[in-house]
């Protein structure tokens, strides 16, 4: 039986830009007693939390988990059963590589009510910020969201043959450190080395940087440019039209590492 006096909101904060936070997410955030938040939640969104609310950081980075997932699960239950309105705030969307479903299962098993508040996931928010559609008639008939992260010392266990489809856009989450492996395996299964590919760092934020190249040279370009995490990797023919659809007017680095500017922006340096 659920405890009707307790509730946890599993909330997606979006890809970083505070203006991409949904109205519902903001309303829930404003009434929270406790906010349990991740590393990828931007400071601008954290500033929207009411001054009297308790903030608990539980961020994770590669090989560095501030709090193990099992402890986060238990924390949510403890806070809710203490009578608090709890917001579990995650970057992107809680159900897309956010482990929100694991937390929802744990809450259910312990009789704690919860509500999902979806967020704009990194794939759609960041690709839109770069003027890069995930699907486009004649270029891509579908899109796949793929984990680019594996446990330490373990290679990516993916069906590379099924992923190596020229008609599909591939979006790799958390794939920066495994980018060479990703490129090598996709090319080994027949995806051409000249397939357009992009790496976007800190997408939709003021610190966004991006590198546009090909599947064959993107790993080297990312190293040369020293792109900081978090980085989203997009592979597919839709990447090739990012320059013409760059409606945020952001300069970007091409396959040769040269800085390029959209036609609407005057080069000042």
Catalytic residues: 38, 60
Q: Say if residues 233 and 171 touch (Cβ distance below 8 Å).
A: yes
Is there a cis peptide before residue 230, judged by omega within 30 degrees of 0? yes
CA 109 to centroid of chain Cα atoms = 28
Q: From CA 11, how far away is CA 117, in angstroms rounded?
A: 5
Cβ(259)–Cβ(253) below 8 Å: yes
Burial class (CB in 10 A: 0-12, 13-18, 19+), 116: middle
Return the H-helix or E-strand segment holding 116.
strand 112-117
d(CA 23, CA 106): 27
């Amino acid at each position: 039986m659920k405890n009707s006096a307790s509730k946890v909101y599993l909330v997606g904060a979006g890809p970083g830009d505070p203006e991409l936070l949904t109205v519902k997410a903001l309303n829930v955030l404003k009434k929270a007693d406790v906010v349990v938040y991740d590393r990828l939640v931007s400071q601008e969104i954290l500033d929207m939390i009411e001054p009297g609310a308790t903030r608990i950081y539980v961020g994770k980075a590669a090989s560095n988990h501030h709090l193990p997932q099992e402890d986060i699960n238990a924390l949510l239950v403890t806070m809710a059963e203490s009578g608090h309105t709890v917001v579990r705030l995650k970057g992107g969307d809680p159900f897309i590589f956010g482990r929100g479903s694991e937390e929802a299962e744990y809450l259910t098993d312990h009789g704690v009510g919860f509500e999902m508040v979806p967020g704009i996931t990194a794939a759609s928010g960041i690709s839109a910020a770069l003027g890069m559609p995930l699907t486009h008639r004649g270029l891509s008939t579908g899109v796949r969201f793929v984990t680019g992260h594996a446990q330490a010392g373990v290679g990516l266990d993916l069906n590379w043959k099924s992923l190596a489809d020229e008609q599909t856009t591939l979006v790799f989450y958390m794939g920066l450190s495994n980018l060479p492996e990703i490129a090598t395996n996709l090319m080994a299964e027949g995806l051409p080395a000249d397939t357009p590919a992009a790496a976007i760092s800190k997408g939709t934020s003021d610190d966004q940087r991006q590198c546009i190249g090909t599947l064959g040279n993107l790993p080297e370009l990312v190293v040369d440019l020293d792109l900081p995490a978090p980085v989203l990797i997009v592979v597919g023919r839709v990447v090739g039209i990012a320059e013409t659809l760059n409606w945020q007017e952001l300069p970007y680095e091409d396959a040769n590492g040269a800085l390029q500017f959209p036609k609407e922006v005057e080069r000042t340096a």
